[in-house]
């Protein structure tokens, strides 16, 4: 491993310990899987099971990245994203659509609705961590 690669990994690890990720997923097994992957990789997280809970959490606590299921009760991911984007502190908040909607037009719709990135389920743990790291990098620029 090159010294610069090692330094980059240390930097990412340091970011992980400082970052707070909001996991919005109504399916308990999916939510627990995402939480486990985040925890194993040193991330702090908060959890919500619907869009209203997401908004309530954001009222109380700043977060660094939102991992948002598009298909949730009360407010779906599209509606939740729209409401986050209307907030002064939500305009640049990284929001990743994490969804089983895996068609190319689903990705386009998620991005057009205001999501920053898109991750299709099922995903591999390293894919989740890679998207979180990308979003943290964007958020810190």
Q: Which residue has the higher pLDDT, 125 or 108?
A: 125
Q: Identify the weakest region by mean pLDDT among 11-15, 47-51, 97-101, 111-115.
A: 11-15
Least Cα distance to 115 among 66, 46, 47 occurs for: 66
Token readout for 28 is 């308990």
Average pLDDT over the chain, rounded to an integer? 87
Token readout for 24 is 């919005």
Ordered by where they begin, the domains of the chain are 3-140 (3.40.50.2300)
pLDDT-based confidence at residue 11 (cuts at 50, 70, 90): very low
74-94: pLDDT as tens digits: 899 999 999 999 999 999 999
The sign of the CA dihedral 127, 37, 24, 85 is: negative
Could you tell me the pTM of the whole model? 0.86
Q: How far, in Å, CA of 127 to CA of 91, rounded?
A: 25
């Amino acid at each position: 491993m090159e010294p610069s690669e090692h330094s980059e990994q240390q930097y990412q690890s340091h970011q992980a310990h400082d970052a707070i990720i909001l996991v919005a997923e109504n399916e308990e097994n999916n939510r627990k899987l995402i939480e486990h992957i985040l925890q194993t990789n040193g991330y702090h997280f908060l959890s919500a099971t619907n869009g209203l809970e997401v908004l309530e959490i954001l009222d109380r606590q700043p977060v660094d990245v939102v991992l948002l299921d598009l298909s949730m009760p009360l407010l779906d991911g599209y509606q939740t994203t729209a409401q986050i984007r209307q907030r002064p502190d939500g305009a640049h908040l990284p929001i990743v659509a994490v969804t089983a909607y895996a068609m190319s037009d689903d990705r386009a719709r998620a991005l057009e609705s205001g999501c920053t990135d898109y991750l299709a389920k099922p995903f591999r743990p390293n894919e989740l961590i890679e998207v979180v790291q990308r979003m943290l990098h964007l958020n810190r620029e």
